[in-house]
């Protein structure tokens, strides 16, 4: 998390909304082999207190996660900010970005919980994709689904700390922020520019 408090969202629900909408995280943990990271789709619990994910049994992090303290990071849009977009003197280039860190203890899921996670994950994204009828595992052979499920392990991170950062030039005057927004739009970073317009002033 960025140390400047002006980059922390004031809306308590915004971090959870970003995690649900982006739906993909990097999972970091220490192992006897050194620090490791894995990348996985995630399911945030309804109460925003748990984050579920699954990894291949062959992933270098898998055998070390049960009982470990880990950090999950969900990243949104980001872009370079040119110092030439400012009018004030003695400015330097920087980077605007959106990131949400979640820390907590990880537990291994049992088979029923893993299947529930997979069902929730596909249901959520099939709905968003507008697929009609949506894909479900009922369309698969039960034996093949079982074999594929055997190749992965499910986990749940009990979130003890949220550390979101929305670095959207909130520490700059309104006229400078407007120039950054226009510069980002010209570079094709429309999503980040839109966030600055909608959220940057409020955090």
Would you list the domain boundaries of the chain? 5-78+96-170
Task: Note the pTM of the prediction, 2 decimals.
Answer: 0.91
Q: Average pLDDT for residues 20-48, to the nearest whole number?
A: 96
Q: Average pLDDT for residues 69-90, to the nearest whole number?
A: 95
Give residue 201's pLDDT band: very low, low, confident or very high (50, 70, 90).
very low
Fold that domain 5-78+96-170 belongs to in CATH:
Pnp Oxidase; Chain A (2.30.110)
Q: Average pLDDT for residues 117-132, to the nearest whole number?
A: 93
Q: Average pLDDT for residues 146-167, to the nearest whole number?
A: 97
Q: At how many degrees (to 10) do helices 142-150 and 111-129 cross?
A: 110
Burial 182-201 (b: 16+ CB within 10 A, else e): ebbeeeebeebbebbeebbe
> Cβ neighbours of residue 41 under 8 Å, at least 6 residues apart?
23, 24, 53, 121
Across the chain, mean pLDDT equals 94
């Amino acid at each position: 998390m960025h140390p400047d408090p002006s980059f922390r969202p004031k809306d308590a629900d915004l971090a959870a909304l970003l995690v649900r909408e982006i739906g993909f995280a990097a999972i970091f943990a220490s192992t006897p082999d050194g620090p490791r990271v894995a990348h996985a789709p995630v399911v945030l619990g309804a109460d925003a207190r748990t984050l579920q994910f699954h990894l291949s049994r062959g992933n270098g992090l898998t055998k070390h996660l049960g009982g470990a303290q880990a950090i999950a990071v969900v990243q949104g849009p980001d872009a370079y900010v040119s110092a030439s977009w400012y009018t004030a003197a003695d400015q330097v280039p920087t980077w605007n970005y959106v990131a949400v860190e979640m820390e907590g203890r990880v537990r291994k899921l049992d088979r029923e919980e893993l299947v529930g996670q997979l069902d929730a994950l596909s249901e959520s994204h099939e709905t968003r994709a507008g697929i009609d009828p949506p894909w479900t595992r009922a369309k698969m052979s039960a034996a093949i689904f079982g074999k594929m499920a055997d190749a992965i392990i499910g986990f749940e991170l009990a979130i003890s700390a949220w550390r979101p950062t929305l670095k959207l030039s909130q520490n700059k005057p309104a006229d400078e922020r407007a120039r950054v927004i226009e510069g980002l739009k010209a570079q094709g970073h429309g999503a980040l520019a839109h966030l600055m317009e909608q959220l940057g002033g409020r955090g």
